Amino acid sequence: MDTELTGAEITIRCLQEEGVDYIFGYPGGAVLYIYDELFKQDKVKHVLVRHEQAAVHAADGYARSSTKVGVALVTSGPGVTNAVTGIATAYMDSIPLVIISGQVPTHAIGLDAFQEVDTVGITRPCVKHNFLVKDIAELATTIKKAFYIASTGRPGPVLVDIPKDVSQQKTAFAYPESVAMRSYHPITKGHAGQIKKAAQLILDAKRPMIYAGGGVILSNAAMQLTELVRMLGFPCTNTLMGLGGFPATDKHSVGMLGMHGTYEANMAMQHCDVLIAIGARFDDRVIGNPKHFSNEERKIIHIDIDPSSISKRVKVDVPIVGSVSEVLVELIKLLKTRKERPDQIALKAWWTQVDLWRARDCLKYDRASAIIKPQMVVEKLYQATKGNAFITSDVGQHQMWAAQFYKFDKPRRWINSGGLGTMGFGLPAAMGVQFANPRGSVACITGEASIQMCIQELSTCKQYGLPLKIVNLNNRYMGMVRQWQEFFHGNRYAESYMNALPDFVKLAESYGHVGMKIEQPGDIEGALKEAFKLKDRLVFMDFITDQTENVFPMIPGGKGLSEMILV
Amino acid sequence: MRHIISLLMENEAGALSRVAGLFSARGYNIESLTVAPTEDPTLSRMTLVTVDSDDVVEQITKQLNKLIEVVKVVDLSDGVHIERELMLVKVRAVDKGREEIKRMVDIFRGRIIDVTDTSYTIELTGTGSKLDAFLDTIERSTILETVRTGASGIGRGERILKA
């Protein structure tokens, strides 16, 4: 311990101590010492992306599909500004990341030095926390704190900005075993009295509904949620972020809710008498207009680790602050000790109602169409992968069809940018997923507009031999923009048509991958089978789909849950 | 309703901007904000005055608590408390006006802390409304400049905010 290490060595040693196996990054002037240390060891493997946005999305995909913290490394100035979209994406979806950024030397800070940017200032609103390390003595503790803050409480990205001279200076290294911060004590254990109140409401419910969000995934509470739902026999809906938190193929599942949720899920949300919200935040894409939502009377139980999520958009009756998994364990335990059961006759009547709503078959589409229907591609993908693939998506119509038609039975299999809605997320996120799950099947459902926002990563995929399967639902439109223009802007398709598209087959081939173009509905299945047979190749499947297809059901912006537009 | 929020935070570079940034990012209104280190130099104490509905103020305190560097937050308006603000006013003071202003300063228990042939600089502390009242009593055209600190607040008696 008496030998002194440079800041760069300390940085890498800290990553090793944290058990980091992959970091995603792009070198540059301010991080050269750190890259030099990366070069000298082989415990932490570096993945070279082609754009810093992709580094953060890849680290993000890595974190979402595992239970680990994702790590990205970028240089100062443009390195950081490119990373901001990725950081904001992770922040909105509460994904634990540590981003290490280089900074100009401390003596140059504030002097408009080359590649200088106020990183801490620029990222402040889109990180859980950030640090500028001006003193090498603080470096190891700061990195420890960063991992601790990122992964505890409501998770989120934490950025550590390291000036070049700090990475060069030397000091003795000792990695702290733990951190104590007087200003940060996330609560994980739910209040026993509140859990008791919740149990009573649950037992008294006549028209109960369980509404589970991304918090279930983040808290690794899918097992507990599944146990609770099956024990109670209540209907359960998952948010876009919560898909896989409860098995979609279970009879108690009423599918996703929200703007493009199922008729049955939205109607049950609106008309239930007791709502159990678990790791969800009543956001605008989920409950629509909060005024309309509160037109119906219901009691709400809300379990969330973040007190500020509670009573933010909707007033709740029984708030329980705590980690979803811990609270559910306690709640299940308590319910098991109680002799009463929910009113079975009322529950049966409620299910009859829910099944009537379900019978509307709100996700139906023209299966006999001569043009490829995007929904059918997702359904066939589901069948081809037996529901076992990791699915990433970009943002738009294809994202919604993926969420509606791929039935996720397991958590951490559905990887998408829900909060920020970041086009360009899908491909780099899929890379991170593949690194975290080297033996898993990883498919990226995308569209011809989204994929072009990070298409350069096909090069990264080639370098690391990532056998991703890209399912491009190509309708030559920014489909969701076009849909809104059709519904709300008098069919004036302002700048939503994608002209001058590349030949995606040739494009994939030019990067050394396999490209396929599929134009007939009858060819979907064969193409998918063939693609998944190519186990070590990236296959880019360009599906030419119906340009006029819309996502249904749809709740128009500002409308309520029961005001859906149906097919 | 007007709320006076008191908070203790780590006395670190950038901590203030996290609070200010939170208010602007979420569209909360700040009427005044004062901050300075406490007797423990690792801590800063901030007093924030905001006027908003109780629901919004509840969100504000929750969001402030969420900031990693914030150690404690209390809404002083939830209980009995004292608040004071300091104001410095420079006024034109000539001829008969000099006596008149001096008298007014005495009534308001202020102090004249700088004097020239033609001006006074007055120091006055009190609640915001007392300071307002003082400004209303002196002839508007004689006011050369004013500077106010914004309110600082503290709980009464055993109501103590400590880390």
Q: What is the DSSP-derived secondary structure letter of residue A191?
A: P
How many Å apart are CA A97 and CA A155, to the nearest integer?
A: 8
Chain B positions touching A308 (Cβ under 8 A) are 59, 62-63, 65-66
Question: If you measure CA to CA, which chain B residue comes closest to A312?
Answer: B59
Give the tens place of pLDDT for each residue, A424-453.
Answer: 999 999 999 999 999 999 999 999 999 999
In angstroms, the first-to-last Cα distance of chain B is 28
- Choose, from A4, A41, A45, A114, the residue flagged as catalytic: A114
Of B17, B62, B63, the CB nearest to A124: B17
The SS3 of residue A442 is strand
pLDDT band at A401 (very low <50, low <70, confident <90, very high): very high
Of B17, B25, B62, the CB nearest to A308: B62
Give the tens place of pLDDT for each residue, A218-276.
Answer: 999 999 999 999 999 999 999 999 999 999 999 999 999 999 999 999 999 999 999 99
- Nearest Cα of chain B lies from the Cα of A311 at a distance, in angstroms, of 8
Q: Does B10 touch chain A (CB under 8 A)?
A: yes
Of B25, B55, B65, the CB nearest to A125: B25
- Nearest Cα of chain A lies from the Cα of B111 at a distance, in angstroms, of 40
- Nearest Cα of chain B lies from the Cα of A181 at a distance, in angstroms, of 9
How many Å apart are CA A212 and CA A324, to the nearest integer?
A: 10
Chain B positions touching A183 (Cβ under 8 A) are 9-10, 68-71
Question: If you measure CA to CA, which chain B residue comes closest to A145?
Answer: B68
- Nearest Cα of chain B lies from the Cα of A464 at a distance, in angstroms, of 38
CB atoms A124 and B21 under 8 Å: yes
Chain B positions touching A182 (Cβ under 8 A) are 71, 163
Chain A positions touching B70 (Cβ under 8 A) are 183
pLDDT score for A3: 87
Burial A293-313 (b: 16+ CB within 10 A, else e): beeeebbbbbbbbbbbbbbbe
Q: Does B69 touch chain A (CB under 8 A)?
A: yes
Instruction: Kindly tell me if the per-residue pLDDT of A132 is higher than 80.
Output: yes
How many Å apart are CA A224 and CA A245, to the nearest integer?
A: 9
What average pLDDT does range A92-109 have in this prediction? Answer: 98
A264 an active-site residue? no
Cα dihedral across residues B146, B152, B153, B158: positive or negative: negative
Residues pairing with A10 in the sheet: none
pLDDT score for A324: 98
Question: If you measure CA to CA, which chain B residue comes closest to A154?
Answer: B66
- Choose, from A16, A17, A68, A115, the residue flagged as catalytic: A115
* % chain A with pLDDT above 70: 100
What average pLDDT does range A544-566 have in this prediction? Answer: 96
Q: Does B18 touch chain A (CB under 8 A)?
A: yes
Q: Which residues of A touch B (CB under 8 A)?
A: 120-121, 124-125, 128-129, 132, 149, 181-184, 306-308, 310-312
Among all chains, which residue has been given the structure tokens 């909105």? A92
User: Other CB atoms closer than 10 Å to residue B135's CB: what's the count?
Assistant: 16
How many Å apart are CA A88 and CA A83, to the nearest integer?
A: 9
Chain B positions touching A132 (Cβ under 8 A) are 13-14
CB atoms A120 and B14 under 8 Å: yes
Question: If you measure CA to CA, which chain A residue comes closest to B62?
Answer: A308
pLDDT score for A83: 98
pLDDT score for A277: 98
* % chain A with pLDDT above 90: 99
Instruction: Kindly tell me if the per-residue pLDDT of B17 is higher than 90.
Output: yes
The token pair that represents A400 in the structure block: 């919604």
How many Å apart are CA B104 and CA B98, to the nearest integer?
A: 10
A164 an active-site residue? yes
Chain A positions touching B55 (Cβ under 8 A) are 311
How many Å apart are CA A380 and CA A363, to the nearest integer?
A: 15
Question: If you measure CA to CA, which chain A residue comes closest to B56?
Answer: A312
Chain A positions touching B68 (Cβ under 8 A) are 128-129, 149, 181, 183-184
What average pLDDT does range A450-467 have in this prediction? Answer: 98
Instruction: Kindly tell me if the per-residue pLDDT of A512 is higher than 60.
Output: yes
Chain A positions touching B62 (Cβ under 8 A) are 307-308, 310
How many Å apart are CA A482 and CA A488, to the nearest integer?
A: 10
ipTM (interface predicted TM): 0.93
CB atoms A183 and B70 under 8 Å: yes
CB atoms A184 and B68 under 8 Å: yes
Give the tens place of pLDDT for each residue, A515-544.
Answer: 999 999 999 999 999 999 999 999 999 999
Report helix, strand and coil shares of chain A as percent, to nearest 5. Answer: 40, 15, 40
In angstroms, what is the C-alpha Rg of chain B? 19
Question: How many angstroms separate the Cα of A488 from the Cα of each of A181, A397, A483, A485, A495?
Answer: 51, 16, 8, 5, 15
pLDDT score for A410: 98
| pLDDT averaged over every residue in chain A | 97
Determine the Cα angle at A404 with ends A403 and A409, to 5°: 70
A128 an active-site residue? no
Chain A positions touching B66 (Cβ under 8 A) are 306-308
Chain A positions touching B13 (Cβ under 8 A) are 132
Question: If you measure CA to CA, which chain A residue comes closest to B13?
Answer: A132
- Nearest Cα of chain A lies from the Cα of B43 at a distance, in angstroms, of 11
Of B18, B59, B66, the CB nearest to A124: B18
pTM for the model stands at 0.96
pLDDT band at B146 (very low <50, low <70, confident <90, very high): very high
Instruction: Kindly tell me if the per-residue pLDDT of A113 is higher than 60.
Output: yes
Chains A and B: how many Cβ contacts under 8 Å?
38
Chain B positions touching A150 (Cβ under 8 A) are none
A114 an active-site residue? yes
pLDDT band at A2 (very low <50, low <70, confident <90, very high): low
User: Other CB atoms closer than 10 Å to residue B142's CB: what's the count?
Assistant: 17
pLDDT score for A144: 98
- Choose, from A92, A259, A423, A480, the residue flagged as catalytic: A480
Among all chains, which residue has been given the structure tokens 């037996």? A386
Q: Does B56 touch chain A (CB under 8 A)?
A: no
Q: Does B9 touch chain A (CB under 8 A)?
A: yes
Question: If you measure CA to CA, which chain A residue comes closest to B24?
Answer: A125
Of B55, B62, B68, the CB nearest to A129: B68
**Nearest to A410, CA basis, from A237, A256, A217, A261:** A217
pLDDT band at B163 (very low <50, low <70, confident <90, very high): confident
CB atoms A183 and B68 under 8 Å: yes
